[in-house]
């Protein structure tokens, strides 16, 4: 899976690439408009992460170019502006998603995974992790063909963990993924624990291995190692 990251902030691009590489993606970086345009015209990518404000141009024109050339690359706009106008404009121009900065790398990774899945299998694909299978079309998770009776939040949680397998996910990242920006967390993550506990219980009941590990008050990790 090949990803192009168009981002002028070097430190941010380093972090993103490192994280995505560990997830098994091939990550290329373009730090300016010209390079990005060259790369998108020459190669095809499964997903392009596009920053809008670049030193020598607007990321949106790369998007326009892509659509003109009928390229099928998935595009996620990562922007510092988080303005509604920009989001609407980006999505109208054919971007698949819009992620305002700052974001958690796990959130980005989950969205990249979702885009690639949608592009490659027309959205009807399944996601696998050892004996666990998630059918994203019907939104049902299975353990060796046995359907798991998960609530919506538990299902989303499982999907998020599998998209970020073997990674430590901070409680902040999990809370923001499940409840979004609207919730005033007030440093209170008790309710996350409840959902994690329930998910873990349901997985174990159906005979799955105990993949969900708590990482000393920091967060959680979904791992078979």
Partner 1 sequence: MLSAAFILLISSLSYYFIIRNILIQEIDKNLKVEEEEIMDYVAKNKILPNESYYKGQEIRFKKSNAIVKRHFESTVSPVASSQNNEPVRQLLFPVTVGGELYTAIVRKSQEEAEDLIRLIFFVTAVIFILLLLVIAFVNRFILFKLWQPFYNTLQQLTSFNVNDAHSMHLAGSNVDEFNELNTSVIKMADRVTNEFNSLKSFTENASHEMQTPLAVINSKLDLLIQHSNESQAEQLQAIYDSVRRLNKLNQTLLLLTKIDNRLYQMAEEINIKKLLEQKLQQLEDLIQSREITVTTHLENVRLQMNYDLADILLNNLLNNAIKHNIKGGTIECILTNDHLLFTNTGLANSFDDADIFERFQKGAHSDGTGLGLAVVKQICVASNFSISYKYEFNLHHIELYFNRM
Q: Would you tell me which residues interact with partner 1 (CB under 8 A)?
A: 9, 11-12, 15-16, 18-19, 22, 53, 80-84, 100-106, 153, 167-168, 170-173, 179-188, 190-191, 194-195, 215-219
Q: Is 222 within 8 Å of 211 (Cβ atoms)?
A: yes
| Angstrom distance (rounded) from CA 61 to CA 4 | 16
Closest distance to partner 1 from the beta carbon of 221 (Å):
9
Closest distance to partner 1 from the beta carbon of 136 (Å):
23
Q: Which is nearer to partner 1, 9 or 149 (CB)?
A: 9
Q: Which is nearer to partner 1, 68 or 187 (CB)?
A: 187
Closest distance to partner 1 from the beta carbon of 135 (Å):
25
* 3-state class (DSSP) for residue 217: coil
Query: How distant is the alpha carbon of residue 11 from its chain centre?
Result: 19
Neighbours of 206 (CB within 10 A): 16
Question: In this structure, what is the dihedral angle of CA atoms 89, 90, 93, 94, given to the nearest 10 degrees?
Answer: -140
Provide the total of helices (H) and of strands (E) in the chain, helices listed first.
8, 14
Neighbours of 192 (CB within 10 A): 20
Q: Which is nearer to partner 1, 14 or 128 (CB)?
A: 14
> What is the distance in angstroms between the CA of the first residue and the CA of the last residue of the chain?
23
Q: Which is nearer to partner 1, 143 or 221 (CB)?
A: 221
Closest distance to partner 1 from the beta carbon of 41 (Å):
27
Q: Which is nearer to partner 1, 46 or 154 (CB)?
A: 154
Closest distance to partner 1 from the beta carbon of 50 (Å):
14
């Amino acid at each position: 899976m090949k990803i192009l990251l168009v981002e002028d902030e070097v430190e941010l691009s380093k972090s993103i690439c490192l994280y995505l590489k560990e997830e098994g993606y091939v990550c290329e970086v373009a730090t300016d408009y010209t390079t990005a345009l060259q790369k998108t015209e020459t190669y095809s990518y499964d997903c392009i992460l596009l920053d809008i404000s670049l030193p020598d141009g607007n990321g949106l024109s790369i998007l326009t170019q892509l659509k003109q050339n009928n390229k099928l690359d998935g595009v996620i706009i990562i922007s510092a502006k988080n303005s509604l106008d920009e989001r609407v404009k980006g999505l109208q121009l054919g971007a698949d998603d819009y992620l305002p900065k700052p974001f958690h790398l796990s959130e980005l990774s989950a969205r990249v995974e979702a885009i690639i899945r949608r592009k490659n299998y027309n959205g009807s694909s399944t996601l696998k992790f050892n004996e666990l299978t998630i059918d994203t079309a019907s939104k049902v998770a299975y353990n060796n063909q046995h359907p798991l009776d998960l609530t919506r939040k538990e299902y989303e949680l499982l999907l998020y963990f599998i998209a970020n397998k073997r990674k430590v996910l901070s409680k902040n990242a999990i809370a923001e993924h499940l409840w979004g920006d609207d919730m005033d967390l007030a440093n209170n993550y008790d309710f996350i624990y409840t959902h994690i506990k329930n998910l873990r219980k349901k997985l174990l009941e159906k005979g799955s291995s105990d993949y969900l590990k708590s990482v000393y008050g920091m967060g959680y990790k979904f791992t078979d190692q």
